[in-house]
Amino acid sequence: MRVSVFGLGYVGCVSAACLAGKGHEVIGVDVNQVKVDLVNDGKAPVVEERIGELIAEVVGSGALRATRDVREAIMESEMSLICVGTPSEPNGSLCTTYLERVTEEIGAALAERGGRHTVVFRSTMLPGTCTNLLIPILEKYVGGTAGVDFGVAVNPEFLREGTSVRDFFDPPKTVVGELDPASGDAVLALYEGLPGEVFRVPVATAEAIKYADNAFHGLKIGFANELGAVCQALGVDSHQVMDVFLADRKLNISPAYLRPGFAFGGSCLPKDLRSLVHAARRADVSVPILSHVLPSNAAHLERAVELVERAGKRRVGLFGLSFKPGTDDLRESPLVELAERLFGKGYDLKIHDAHVSLSRLLGANREYVETRLPHLAQLLADSVDEVLEHAEVCLVGTRDPAVLSALPHGGDPLLIDLIHLPDADVRRAEPGYMGLAW
């Protein structure tokens, strides 16, 4: 394939050299003459393992050359990979100036070029940037329609500086956000033969994945370092702790707890986080991440209250009360907290939780419900129908099959899904459905 790569920084330079090494015909484009000259001399403009030898080789063979001339590059290629920088503005916002400029230049050149060309954004950019900012620029300059007259895709890159050449040939995954299938096919043809799972997703999903990855990586490092500092202060070998922590592939290094859902609670997580943070404070160890886990959880619960407020109804139903499905344990249940918040705000509330009703009958949780939550006890309904008949808006916090099968479609009552119901993807398109974080 004939490919132009815009921006010869870390990402562009490595992408250009590796694609040329894979047999594509590559033209690198940069506004910086020094970088262009370095590449044309067979030298790498960045310091990276193996990049020097690779650039010398592919420039020598004629597979890679560089230019400042956007028009020339576009005329001679079927695809543009955009790898310009997207730094932070002083206030933390994303700077899209370089992206906008290069997109304008490419659009103007494409207006003169016949035949299909696919514009692929590899720079990291916030969800919506491609659709709301860059595609309109391309359509304006080209005078055509994206997905029809030219292709558009978002192809975030997951190379790590230092090992990026190795990562290119053995990527953790390949993600293609495609405007139309032809654009996605063109991008995947570039990487044919490389290992790793391929994900074809909508454009905004591809943009968001990069942020999910980097936020999580930062969180992991911060978590490990904070835990290390607490362990050190308490005289514990932090590496030994993490060796055992990492060996748990069921709950720790696993997909467990990593899907958006409702707030956590129960008799362990809140209590243990509180005492760990307290121990850190006593030892004068600053743990901003650990000490903000409970506030983050409270903020998530608040989102549910806000959804009820936004619905603007007074008669509210709640399915589920125990701290997670399948138990009658009400201690530190976030659903109890939610019910109390709504009750306190004067909503006319009815609650159904089959486990809690049962334990009241058996006397197991009776004392807890009747002494600690007498105000909620009087709101408990024995049947699903009783709640549905009462409610104008219903919060669903349980996967109880009896509840799931009774939930109506169509908006009467309105549904607030706290747990990502099994049919959430279908319901999202229906009127009267609100997901807590999806």
Ligand X SMILES: NC(=O)c1ccc[n+]([C@@H]2O[C@H](COP(=O)([O-])OP(=O)(O)OC[C@H]3O[C@@H](n4cnc5c(N)ncnc54)[C@H](O)[C@@H]3O)[C@@H](O)[C@H]2O)c1
Enzyme catalytic residues: 268
Q: How far is the CB of 331 from ligand X (least distance, A)?
A: 44
Rank residues 209 and 290 by Cβ distance to ligand X and give the closer one: 209
Query: Using CB under 6 A as the criterion, which residues of the chain lie in contact with ligand X when the complex forms?
Result: 6-12, 29-32, 35, 83-86, 98, 101-102, 123-124, 157, 159, 161
Measured from the CB atom, is 124 or 238 closer to ligand X?
A: 124
303 contacts 435 by C-beta, under 8 angstroms: no
Closest distance between ligand X and the C-beta of residue 293, in Å? Answer: 28
Residue 4 carries which side chain, given as an amino acid letter?
S
Closest distance to ligand X from the beta carbon of 68 (Å): 8
- Which residues lie closer than 8 Å to 100 by C-beta, 6 or more apart? 133, 134, 137
φ, ψ for residue 17 (rounded to 5)? Answer: -65, -40
Question: 291 and 233 in contact (C-beta within 8 Å)?
Answer: no
Residue closer to ligand X by CB (options 31, 234) is 31
C-beta nearest to ligand X: residue: 9
Q: Is 415 strand, coil or helix?
A: strand
DSSP letters spanning 340-382: HHHHHTT-EEEEE-HHHHHHHHHTTTHHIIIII-HHHHTTB-S
Q: How many CB atoms lie within 10 A of CB 33?
A: 10
**What's the token pair of residue 55?**
């650039």
Q: Report the 10 Å Cβ neighbour count for 358.
A: 12
What CA–CA distance (Å, rounded) separates 86 from 207?
13
The per-residue DSSP string of 69-129 comes to: -HHHHHHT-SEEEE-----B-TTSPBP-HHHHHHHHHHHHHHHH--S--EEEE-S---TTI
Residue whose CB is less far from ligand X, 47 or 299: 47
**How many Cα atoms within 13 Å fall on the side-chain side of residue 171?**
19
β-bridge partners, 431:
none
What's the min distance (Å) between Cβ of 163 and ligand X?
Answer: 10
Beta carbon of residue 70, minimum distance to ligand X (angstroms, whole number): 7
- Least distance CB 206 / ligand X (angstroms): 12
83 or 277, CB closer to ligand X?
83
Q: Which is nearer to ligand X, 149 or 213 (CB)?
A: 213
